[in-house]
Amino acid sequence: MWQDITLAIVIWILLAALIPTILNKTQKPTLSTGLLTGSALAVIAFTYFSMDLMNAALASSLISGAWFLLAYQRYKLNQRNDT
């Protein structure tokens, strides 16, 4: 299905765009942004999975995980700044 491949490619590009933010030591989105975006993308991944769009589901799962990682990184930064 061409839609599966197209969605997956776009999501992989968006995931690549997040890499500099993930690797940056101090510049992170807010915790609420990371949690909300990660959760929304997890729902999208589940939806793609239910539609048998496995490439898009995998890509969405990974980008969801990346946003949860950013949320975790922000949480740790917030903890360090509170002390």
Q: pLDDT digits over 5-63, tens only?
A: 999 999 999 999 999 999 999 999 999 999 999 999 999 999 999 999 999 999 999 99
pLDDT in tens, 34-49: 999 999 999 999 999 9
Encoded amino acid at 60, one letter: S
Q: Where are the domains of the chain?
A: 2-10+28-82
Encoded amino acid at 51, one letter: M
Encoded amino acid at 14, one letter: L
- The pLDDT value recorded for residue 4 is 95
C-alpha closest to that of 3 among 57, 46, 39, 41: 57
